[in-house]
Amino acid sequence: MSPNAAGGDRREPTPADIQGEPGHRVAAVQRFELNDVGTLETFERELERNARHHKHQKGLEGQVTLRLLDRPGSYLYLSCWSSLGNLASAIHGSTSCAQFDRLGRLADITPGQAVGVGLMGAGVTLADAAHAVLVEALLDGQAAQFELDFGALAGQFMHDAGFGGGLLLRSTIDPRGYLGLIWWSSAQPCDDALRSSRFLDRRLRLESTTARLTVERAQVAGEDPRP
């Protein structure tokens, strides 16, 4: 996902792996919907415990928990691993299973798995960012075109103040499914980007190759929710 050139020359972005050869990084993508049993405080403590456990597992290359701002009580936990074997070893261990049981008593869980398609920017890592935009898509067109269009969407903010980076993941369960993340160092540049004509125009391009496209705002869990 190479962004457009800064000097006015326009370069079409190309699909690229997050790091190294394609498919070498895999991700666990877990969505949580808080139920009537759990509270925000209790659930986020369990998520923090889960992250602390994974922090010491072999092959972990990064993790983040996002609170979805447009759907209170909804979270996304993303962890990236150097190989499928390392991911499986980490999540199938007895401690991870017990942690999953505790989380499952507090929230409905939708697990998923994906491979890295592209990473750009990362002037601020996703875990160190404040706010992000999640772009979830189910394809009804060419995968290569969608990947190019997502790269162009994220790349146009590359030189904006507060921009952190962009990441695109493709589901290993449903090859039509993608999850894109674009993040910023604070709420204001994120909101400004979402309202901009640049974002809206590129979103229309993405919608032309998808059967379903959703865009959601998110905040790194652990920060104070904005009013």
Q: CB within 8 A of 156, min separation 6: which ones?
A: 3, 4, 198, 202
Domain covering 26-220 in this structure, CATH number = 3.30.70.100
pLDDT, tens only, 179-221: 999 999 999 999 999 999 999 999 999 999 999 999 999 998 8
What are the pLDDT digits (tens) for 2-51?
Answer: 333 333 333 333 333 333 343 458 999 999 999 987 788 889 898 988 88
Determine the 3-state secondary structure of 191 from DSSP: helix
Q: What is the pTM (predicted TM-score) of this model? A: 0.83
Crossing angle of the two packed helices 143-155 and 197-207, in degrees rounded to 10 = 170
Residue carrying structure tokens 């993303």:
78
Residues 6+ apart with CB under 8 A from 36: none
Q: What is the pLDDT of residue 52?
A: 87
Tell me the pLDDT band of 65, cut-offs 50, 70 and 90.
very high
Amino acid in position 75? Y
- Distance of alpha carbon 182 from alpha carbon 122, whole angstroms: 10
Enumerate the domain spans of the chain.
26-220
